[in-house]
Amino acid sequence: MRSFENIAKLIKDKRTQHVKGYSQSELSHLLGYKNGQFISNVERALCNIPLKMLNRVAEILDISHDDLRDAILKDHENTLNNYLTKGSGVVGATTDTQASQVLS
């Protein structure tokens, strides 16, 4: 399972503590998203900030590039650990559904 907890916490903390007090919808719109739900999804760790948006997020929320990088790298490490410890992503591994499709 992909991990986005660190970037989610960083974005939420910076947004809520920012002097301008951006709402999730306001921040989504500032990033160019028509749907205000985008930042909500990020803050609930359902998705990550696209790489092409990182500089814009850093600029709007006054986040250092080091803090962004650290959060993303921690999430990648957690993702790798999830896949390695749970057996997900193993080459040649099949799910029950895949196995039944091969047999039929």
What 8-state DSSP symbol labels residue 52? G
Alpha-carbon distance of 74 to 79, in angstroms, equals 9
Q: How far apart are CA 82 and CA 97, in angstroms?
A: 21
Placement of tokens 């909500």 in the chain:
40
- Tokens coding 92: 């040649």
Q: Residue 102: pLDDT band by 50, 70, 90 thresholds?
A: very low
Nearest to 72 by CA among 12, 2, 4: 4
Mean pLDDT of the 36-59 span = 94
Confidence of residue 88 (pLDDT cuts 50, 70, 90): low
Longest dimension (CA), the chain: 61
Q: Give this prediction's pTM.
A: 0.79
Top pLDDT among 50 and 97 is at 50
Band (pLDDT 50/70/90 cuts) for residue 1 is: confident
What number is the average pLDDT over the span 42-66? Answer: 95
